[in-house]
Structures are given as C-alpha cells and as structure tokens.
Amino acid sequence: MKSSFKNMFASLLPGIFLIGYNIGTGSLTAMSKAGANYGTGLLWVVLLSCLINFFSRFTMATGMTAMEGYRIK
C-alpha cells in the first residue's frame, strides 16, 4: 500500500510543480483562498476569463477581431 501511494505521489509531483511554475504560486494561493471564501459565487469570473482567452486566441490565429470574424460568417 505504501509503494502505491508513493508511486501516485511521484507521478503527480511534476504536474503540481508545473502548475506552480506556469500560474505562479501567489496566484494559486489567491485563487484557493478566493474559492474558500466565496465558493461558486465567483464562477462567472472563470467563465468570462475563458471567453476572453478564446477571443484572444482567435485574434492571434486569424489576425481578425471577434467582430470581424462574426461579420464574415
């Protein structure tokens, strides 16, 4: 049982390190604290940031703004 836990922990450790490296440990701590304090009340912020991220990637990939892409359709 101990070796199974040890193997699982060893496989998760690089992912935890990469999350801390990419997001930043301060941001990770702040997001965890906000989730603990406000629960799902801030879920709309996550959805809004995903939408903004989508449109920024669309603009980088095509060179058009979201409104230009909507007009072409």
How far apart are the C-alpha atoms of 45 and 43, rounded to whole Å? 5
Q: Over the range 6-16, which residues count as b (16 or more CB within 10 Å of their CB) and which as e? A: eeeeeeeeeee
Q: Please give the pLDDT value at position 6.
A: 81
Q: Please give the pLDDT value at position 73.
A: 57
pTM summary value: 0.48
Q: Please give the pLDDT value at position 28.
A: 67
Q: What are the 10-residue block averages of pLDDT along the chain, 73 residues in total?
A: 75 70 68 82 82 87 87 69
Q: Please give the pLDDT value at position 2.
A: 64
